Structure 1
């Protein structure tokens, strides 16, 4: 398969692209296992598809069966197939039943989440069917002798741990269109898990221009997972970690996960 390697953006957008810092100011805590699990391209892709599809967004086919493309206001980088470079928002991107899978190693120009964690704590969420005897009159088994199973199935009882991080902000670095990114992020009021519990509440967003592009490297330090030939190039020179990681949105899709350069510094390589 021939791969076209270039950085690409939509016509007319390229001149509007610039280095950016994107900050979510939080109310105090966010429910995450790892600080880097919140991806900027994932948040933007959700917003782009929701705006494009309207109410159909909530009834669309499962993404594991038919995955639609989201054209983000970020630069595309890496090993980009020509067919992918021409996709527009709403186009079918992957459809395993028809053999359409994007196994290339391109990615959006944004860093992993940069978070200063002040503290960590474990909360618990519970789900339990109320078995109080006084409520038995409200359960109608139609005259049959039955019981509610709470060991498994629909009414299974849960006592589940929830990892939370205490922090006042999350920062990403990106190369993209400032106004479009700001417009997409402003309506997002909470991020992370268990948002209905009050976790991950966003008080405000800040999208500001920068002098340097830190979406991939900041002062020689790697800022995001890098897949494909780029990862191989630096991994063979040492001083870098390799992990199986997601490298583009949606991060849950297996085709968007691969062995990636995950941590290290360019000035620590053993040879050039």
Structure 2
């Protein structure tokens, strides 16, 4: 396990749901879950999603663990930081409308008219916030070979991947010999707090380190599961 810099080179930017970037441990965990799901289907076994379990298991990620004396443990990896103009946001638009022919194939009966102006089948035109950048960077402490092997099949990241957002041109995993393990596991390249972490880790980072305040957030994958939610120091906001 060594301090690393992980970089995704992008086509034109990334659409992110949170006011901070995508967590590297979440990306790695999603790839492992996808492999487990495929393996279960091949063997004819039932696959239970992590979000449907009362106590989801922790996968064996190729990352070091940070185990503070006071607070939940987390993986030593940050969230993504855009390498160019991280505070800028462009507004793209996505649209959606019902395929009438598909409805005919899956329904036993349809009304004479399916309205595209109201109801559950109405047409949608929604804004999408996109950070325009050529690359995003994570810090981490882990196994560079195993991390690159997991990330190599990932061709897009962020929201609305099916419409071309967040397309990854290539992955780059390099040793960061100038970083100590705490910095690589907690801070962005610009020195701000890079991941949700317990107050113990926040205090160790130093009062001069910029963060996003205190709030309830996930500590490790699956981040949205109630069992993973804690009161944590939040990463520095991209829009700040």
Q: TM-score, normalised by structure 2?
A: 0.75
Q: Is the CA contact 2:9–2:136 (under 8 Å) kept in the aligned structure 1?
A: yes
Q: Is 1:223–2:194 an aligned residue pair?
A: yes
Show structure 1 runs of 4+ deviating over 4 A. 141-146, 218-221, 237-240
Work out whether 1:76 is the aligned partner of 2:65: yes
Q: CA RMSD in A?
A: 3.5
Q: Contact 1:33 / 1:164 at 8 angstroms: preserved in 2? A: no
**CA shift at 1:54, angstroms?**
2.5
**Contact persistence 1:36–1:115 (CA under 8 A):** no
Alignment of 1:215-254 (within 5 A): 215-217=185-187, 221-227=192-198, 229-231=200-202, 233=203, 241-254=213-226
- Secondary structure of the 1:215 match is helix
Aligned mates of 1:53, 1:62 — CA distance in 2: 9
* Alignment deviations for residues 152-187 of structure 1 (CA, whole Å, 9 cap, x no partner): 23x232221111110000100000011100100011
1:122 aligns with 2:91: yes
Matched, 1:65 2:52: yes
**Change beyond 3 A, Cα 1:156–1:111:** same
Greater relative CO (CA pairs within 8 A, separation 6+): 2
Report the CA distance shift for 1:173/1:148 in structure 2 as closer, same or farther (over 3 A).
same
1:128-167 superposed matches below 5 A: 128-129=97-98, 146-150=112-116, 151-153=118-120, 155-167=121-133
More strand per residue: 1
* Alpha-carbon distance, 1:191 to partner: 0.6
Cα separation, partners in 2 of 1:28 and 1:35, compared to 1, 3 Å: farther
Aligned pairs, how many?
Answer: 218
Pairing of 1:169-184 with structure 2 (within 5 A): 169-184=135-150
- Partner SS, residue 192 of structure 1: coil
Deviation per CA, 1:225-261: give whole Å up to 9, x if none. Answer: 2125445x569x7976222222211222222222212
Instruction: Name structure 2 gaps, 5 residues minimum.
Output: none
TM-score, scaled relative to structure 1: 0.67
Residues 174 and 145 of structure 1: CA distance in aligned 2, closer, same or farther (over 3 Å): closer
Residue 49 of structure 1 aligns to a residue whose secondary structure is: helix
